[in-house]
Structure 1
Amino acid sequence: MESWKNAKAVFAAIAVAPMFWLLFFFLIPLGLVWLYSFGTNASLTEIEISGTFSNYARALDPLYLGILWKSVLVAAATTVICLVVGFPVALAIVFAADKWKPWLLLAIMLPFWTNLLIRTYALIAVLRREGYVNQTLGWLHEHYGNLMVLVGLPAPGAFEPLELLYNNFAVIFGLVYVHLPFMVLPLYAALDRMDKSLIEASLDLGAGHVRTLLTIVAPLAAPGIISGVIITFVPALGAYLTPDLLGGPDSQMIANVIERQFKRANDWPFGAALSFLLMYATFIAIAIQAMKSRQAERRQ
């Protein structure tokens, strides 16, 4: 097979278009926003790049650090729930019959075919006080109450609809709903490459299903777990639309604060500083995870 080094001109020609796109539509705009984080508002429409760190100092205020920490906790809770829910789903797809696998994978990817805004409004219709969840609970309450009366027990009180919207529960539920496919697909890719005979050998040697899952399946799926955690946690940390539509005043995340600085407060330098603090934290987390993965590989 011929080495790519002998056809550098071909690879260079192929790489020109994507490199141009990456440079002019990603790196240069990102660099401009980074420069804004060291600037001040000279007027309503002008930003003076003065090299100041005041925006970063302001971003380290306990108020904004608290919002950032809350965003990290919400993103971590979302990631853990996605992992707990997504792992059995991915395992079920792996062991499903071959004729069903494409349809199950299609069901996982089907939400991507619908706009996120439409899916979020659909969640609002489900979770609101007059939504399908409360309607179902009200119906069960009514019929369960009649059953209690029939057997001679006192009837329950009036049904009060649950407050499922505009709180932290709604935000986490919405983030799990949006990001669950990002966890299932990497897990499926890792589990599908797993040697199934190892599971059979573990069960034949007397290990139970739980022990086999923890000592055989989970370690073999570690690359998929790591990938799923990263590509779930990072977007959840920077989520804007879901907390904005499903969350209340106390459920806003750091992305909502950044949006207000750019659109409402017209304070682009401070918004840029907040954005890059979030990006720095994400890069550091990914770097630490990469270092741990390399250390684990060296020990093996």
Structure 2
Amino acid sequence: MIGRGTAKGRRAAALVGLLGAPTLFLGIFFLGPLAIMFTYSWLEPGLYGGVVWNFYHLNYGRIFGWANTRYEQFDPAYLQIFARSVWLALCTVGLSLAICYPAAFWISRQPERRKNFFIFLITLPFFVSLIVRLFAWVLLLRPTGFINQALMALGIIDQPLEMIFTGFAVVVGMVYIFIPFMFLPLYASVEKLDMAMVEASFDLGAGRWQTFRRVILPMTLPGIVGGSIIVFIPSLGNFIVPSLLGGAKVLMIGNLIEQQFLSARNWPFGAALSMVVMATILVSLLLYVRQMTREERVTATPLNRQEA
């Protein structure tokens, strides 16, 4: 009994030693700032910046519609900006998935040496500054840029297309940036795909669409959902890409939060907007975890029945 108690104590001490530092780090540098932001979102904004320590629910009222006072008014533009941000983030996820899904299958079927080379090419943009890469897209998409000049030289268009400072340019920039984040989870799932099950599906008379829907898609779904979440979260709060490629015409929620903190100096309202973004991300993560848990239960149920 004494030996067992000593062993349990050692395991507990080792566990505390392993998890203590990361837990302390997250508590100080993640949960701490998050708690400050949440507190500030319920405080009154100061006249010249900062906060006044009075309970003030109208920060959320300006967003959701119950602010109707002399100084605070509900403006549907905030919800429109948030809806636009969600839409552009979803477009980024969809286009990234459409590009990376077939690419992951193609690369996974290559010889080992070529496979590693292609993966290196996908991660290569990480070695270049983000600002430099985005300014390259500015040069490509502007009216006198390479794309417009090439299309006019080929006779496809008569005058330059308005591509820069549009939602299209913002989506293109975010897809370009977040493609590696979508590709790597997808590639991990595709690599684990059991081709014997695919061949068995064809042998049993299933067509390509049935095989994809009933075999390939369920087996690669964890990578699809994981990559979509990883891309959606930074896309929703991104403000660098809209600033450079969207200009003043495409305002996203990240730009609005930046303006409230730096230009308007309305920290409580900026904190309230940040909490809305955090809540949206948290709901997305909870839905992802719930879906994965449900799929694990469905997968484990037949196995449990066979064991019984």
- Answer whether contact 1:175 1:236 (CA < 8 A) is retained: yes
Deviations along 1:72-118, one digit per CA (max 9) or x if unpaired, are 11111111111111100111111111121111111111112222111
Total equivalences in the alignment = 283
Q: Give the aligned residue type for 2:188.
A: A
- Answer whether contact 1:38 1:49 (CA < 8 A) is retained: no
Which residue in 1 is equivalent to 2:261? 262
Q: CA deviation at 1:294?
A: 2.4
Which residue in 1 is equivalent to 2:18? 14
Which residue in 1 is equivalent to 2:305? none
Which residue in 1 is equivalent to 2:270? 271
- Answer whether contact 1:35 1:49 (CA < 8 A) is retained: no
Deviations along 1:192-241, one digit per CA (max 9) or x if unpaired, are 01112122233344444444333321111011111011111111111110
Which residue in 2 is equivalent to 1:150? none
Which residue in 1 is equivalent to 2:88? 74
Q: Cα gap change, 1:227/1:164 in structure 2, threshold over 3 Å: closer, same or farther?
A: same
- Answer whether contact 1:93 1:101 (CA < 8 A) is retained: yes
CA distance in 1, matches of 2:213, 2:119: 24
Which residue in 2 is equivalent to 1:182? 181
Q: Give the aligned residue type for 1:105.
A: I
Percent sequence identity is 36
| Residue 122 of structure 2 corresponds to residue 118 of structure 1 | no
Which residue in 2 is equivalent to 1:32? 36
CA distance in 2, matches of 1:248, 1:8: 54
Moved more, 229-238 or 211-220: 211-220
Name the TM-score, length of structure 2 as normaliser. 0.85
Structure 1 SS opposite 2:144: coil
Moved more, 233-242 or 13-22: 13-22
- Answer whether contact 1:244 1:256 (CA < 8 A) is retained: yes
Deviations along 1:164-194, one digit per CA (max 9) or x if unpaired, are 1001110111111111111111010011011
Give runs of aligned pairs for residues 131-210 of structure 1, distance below 5 A: 131-141=145-155, 159-210=158-209
Moved more, 16-25 or 185-194: 16-25
| Residue 88 of structure 2 corresponds to residue 84 of structure 1 | no
Give runs of aligned pairs for residues 270-289 of structure 1, distance below 5 A: 270-289=269-288
Structure 1 SS opposite 2:24: helix
CA distance in 2, matches of 1:28, 1:264: 24
Q: Give the aligned residue type for 2:180.
A: P
Deviations along 1:259-288, one digit per CA (max 9) or x if unpaired, are 100000000000000000111121112212
CA distance in 2, matches of 1:257, 1:42: 19
Structure 2 SS opposite 1:48: strand
- Answer whether contact 1:39 1:49 (CA < 8 A) is retained: yes
RMSD: 2.0
Which residue in 1 is equivalent to 2:70? none
Structure 2 SS opposite 1:49: strand
- Structure 1: runs of 5 or more not aligned: 145-157
Name the TM-score, length of structure 1 as normaliser. 0.87
CA distance in 2, matches of 1:289, 1:13: 30
Give runs of aligned pairs for residues 44-59 of structure 1, distance below 5 A: 44-59=48-63
Give runs of aligned pairs for residues 214-253 of structure 1, distance below 5 A: 214-253=213-252
Q: Give the aligned residue type for 1:199.
A: V
Q: Cα gap change, 1:104/1:5 in structure 2, threshold over 3 Å: closer, same or farther?
A: farther
